[in-house]
A = this chain, B = another copy of it.
Amino acid sequence: MLVVMQSHATEEQVRAVCECIESLGLRAHPIPGVARTAIGITGNRGEVDTGALESMPGVAECIPVSKPYKLVSREAKQENTVVRIPTPCGEVTLGDRAVAVIAGPCAVETREQAFAIAERVKAAGARLFRGGAYKPRTSPYSFQGLREAGLKILAEVRDTFGLGIVTEAIDNESLDLVENYADVIQIGARNMQNFSLLKRAGRALKPVLLKRGMSATLDEFLMAAEYVLSEGNYQVILCERGVRTFADHTRNTLDLSVIPAAQRLSHLPIVVDPSHGTGRRNKVLPLSRAAVAVGADGILVEVHNDPARALSDGPQSILPEEFEQLVRETGAIAAVLGRTLN
């Protein structure tokens, strides 16, 4: 924490601020400058509450310095975390040179639909299958997912096609079931700061794919991951899925610069969801290429064999043949970076 004094602050005002800091059990380090004095604060373990300081005479503003995350930080662990997902066809890894492709429908609708899509994405090269059994929907009147019946279909997909399963939990009850049936527990953007759910995910024995909230800063995103790690689960995959801005040509604004920024600050792998990130079918292929080019550790893509009749998020699902092109092109780009798909 740094307290910046006004340019006309008196020596007594500086002294009073220093005394207030010391009275809170901290150390004050005044730094006199040409135009004004700043006072560094050390000795604090968590955040310093700045209310009292900010309203003292002569204080211009208080600037926080230390980042609050610990376990997720690259300062705490310098080498990349590699998340390992055992599947019937062998281990899939995220965080090393491989680039994971996670594909499937937005929602599991029927056994036939899930199987038809799984067959196509498997043939195209995917080893992880995504599909929602619990769907957080803006409207209470929209399709909310097949729930446990959907999880059972996913388990069948796993057994039949050998694909690892990634699916979302929306509360503690569904997380118990998802942990049982799936290989990766997804926490959605709307629950990124559902701290109760994050703590429960931190006690799960399966990896967690944590989506960035719609208006989460990178610090908040990493702090949400910190909740999971702080409960003992270190297998966390971050996921950028677009943020909310004024721009209206896509449903969200995909923030690809967060990939190198997160990789600089944290050792956790990070993937990109260009389907939710754009909300438009015709943007998924170019943004998938860009995601791999920027250095993401994987992509999460919605594929549907009949998007016009999809029960949710049809407008952003691509067709299986488009997915095949996507795998080809992203694979070639991964090679430019010395990486391979999956």
Contact = CB atoms under 8 A, between A and B. Distances in A.
Nearest to A20: B308
A316 B43 contact: no
Nearest to A55: B281
A220 interface: yes
Interface string A23-37: 010000101111110
A292 B20 CA distance: 36
Interface stretch (A82-90, A93-101, A117-125, A223-231): A223-231
A248 B265 CA distance: 14
Contact of A34 (B42, B174, B281, B307): B42
Given A51-B308, A136-B195, A193-B190, A68 B253 contact: no
Nearest to A138: B223
Given A51-B310, A193-B190, A194-B190, A142 B46 contact: yes
A12 to B, nearest CB: 17
When all copies of this chain in the complex are counted, the total is: 4
Interface residues of A, number: 115
A203 interface: no
Interface stretch (A1-9, A159-167, A176-184): A1-9
A233 to B, nearest CB: 12
Interface in A252-301: 253-261, 264, 277-278, 280-283, 286-287, 289-295
A80 interface: no
A139 B73 CA distance: 14
A253 B257 CA distance: 7
Interface of A: 2, 4, 6-8, 20, 24, 29, 31-36, 38, 40, 42-47, 49-55, 60, 63, 65-70, 75, 136-142, 170-174, 190-191, 193-197, 199, 214-215, 217-220, 223, 226-227, 230, 243-250, 253-261, 264, 277-278, 280-283, 286-287, 289-295, 307-310, 313-317, 329, 332-333, 336-337
12 contacts: A24-B308, A34-B45, A40-B40, A49-B307, A68-B141, A69-B139, A170-B195, A171-B197, A215-B215, A218-B247, A245-B253, A333-B336
